[in-house]
Amino acid sequence: MPLMTWDPSFSVQVSRCDNHHQKLFSLVNTLHQAMAQGKEAEVLQHVVHELLEYAKYHFSAEEALMEQAGYIGLEVHRIRHQEFVKQVEQFQKDLEVSKTGKAHEVLAFIKQWLATHIKHTDKRYSAHLNAKGIS
């Protein structure tokens, strides 16, 4: 059973961003599934790395759309993205030392951050981007 299930409550009404968010959910679910099967040692570092790289790609694309639309909340939004990247990079460093020691902490952080960020921070840009023809 997936840890994170996409539903319309997560939609930001910008298809590119929704598609990226769904990919991030998929990566979280890959990690969750591996942990449920006792295989986190084999995949944890790889999945966390892939998740971080995809998040950076997504953040860059999302920020470009906000910049294109002249979204006033861009700088604060960018800071939230940077905080996420910094935290996950720290998890990566910790995992190099302990391999699986923080697997549950990593998963809990990413799940909580994504759900909260999408529903409370990303949704703030929806109407503005849509009004600028970005959907």
Sketch the domain layout of the chain as residue ranges: 14-131
pTM higher than the cut 0.75: yes
Residue pair 73/125 in contact by the 8 Å Cβ criterion: yes
Residue pair 19/125 in contact by the 8 Å Cβ criterion: no
Q: Distance (Å, rounded) from C-alpha 64 to C-alpha 50?
A: 21
Q: Which amino acid is at 130?
A: N
Residue pair 126/14 in contact by the 8 Å Cβ criterion: yes
How confident is the model over 60-98, as pLDDT tens digits? 999 999 999 999 999 999 999 999 999 999 988 888 787
- What φ, ψ does residue 100 adopt, rounded to 5°? -130, 0
Class of CATH domain 14-131: mainly alpha
